[in-house]
Amino acid sequence: MLVETLPSSIVRYPDPRLRRKCEPIEAFDDGLAALVERMFEMMLRGQGVGLAAPQVGVSRLLFVANPTGKPEDNAVYINPVLSDLVGTVEAEEGCLSFPDVRANIRRARRCRIQARDLAGNPIDRVGEDLMARIWQHEMDHLYGRLIVDRMNDTDKIANKKLLTDLESSYGRRSKKR
């Protein structure tokens, strides 16, 4: 089992768990299925389009995504690998671990993902635009890279107060432990 108890909240910046590189998943079991179900609940409750395992405190190569919010569009990506990145486009992104922070991030317009689904079956897809952006954003989380690492100087200045508030809030929570 990946976790003793299922996560109850999304991990927020600057929690160090967001900076850890994740480990592969080897067991495709009921514990993994329960974690994935909880991740979808948390992503949808936060009105997100993707959520990576480190964002719920689990350092494993796993993320969920849904670009439309429709249940039939839920997708799970386990031990994913991106390749064939083509073109570039800049667009606004947010992140559930950075509430209210928005930034213009340059990403590949199209890419390929190879991964495993919840049953361990292989996935091999090509995504464009929003789907490609989601995959790239969530893959960043799996390797400890955050939206703040990709911000240009203008976005860092524009979000300075929000980032400082998140850092202060984390510091207060850490002292209470």
Whose structure tokens read 């361990």?
120
Confidence of residue 174 (pLDDT cuts 50, 70, 90): low
Environment class of 45 (CB within 10 Å of its CB; exposed 0-12, middle 13-18, buried 19+):
exposed
Average pLDDT for the chain? 95
Strands of 58-176, DSSP E: 62-65, 75-86, 89-95, 98-107, 110-116, 122-128
Q: Which two tokens stand for residue 82?
A: 């991106």
Choice among 7-16, 83-92, 94-103, 165-174 with the minimum mean pLDDT: 165-174
Please report the pLDDT score of residue 71 as a whole number: 95
User: Mean pLDDT across the stretch 166-173?
Assistant: 86
Look at the block and give the residue holding tokens 């090509």: 126
CA angle 164, 44, 1 (to 5 degrees): 90
Which residue's structure tokens are 């995959």? 135
* Percent residues over pLDDT 90 in the chain: 91
Is the pLDDT assigned to residue 177 strictly greater than 80? Answer: no
Q: Which one from 23, 72, 138, 167 is the annotated catalytic residue?
A: 138
Catalytic, 138? Answer: yes
pLDDT tens digits for range 93-109: 999 999 999 999 999 99
Can you list the domains of the chain with their CATH numbers? 16-176 (3.90.45.10)
Which pLDDT does position 94 carry in this prediction? 97
**Tens digit of each residue's pLDDT (9 = 90 or more) over 20-71:** 999 999 999 999 999 999 999 999 999 999 999 999 999 999 999 999 999 9
Query: What is this structure's pTM?
Result: 0.94
Phi-psi label, residue 79: left if phi above 0, alpha if psi -120 to 50, beta otherwise: left
The predicted pLDDT at position 176 comes to 67
Confidence of residue 129 (pLDDT cuts 50, 70, 90): very high
Paired tokens of 133: 């952006």
Q: Are 55 and 38 in contact (CB under 8 A)?
A: no
What's the pLDDT score for residue 124? 98
Calpha distance 169→43 (Å, rounded): 22
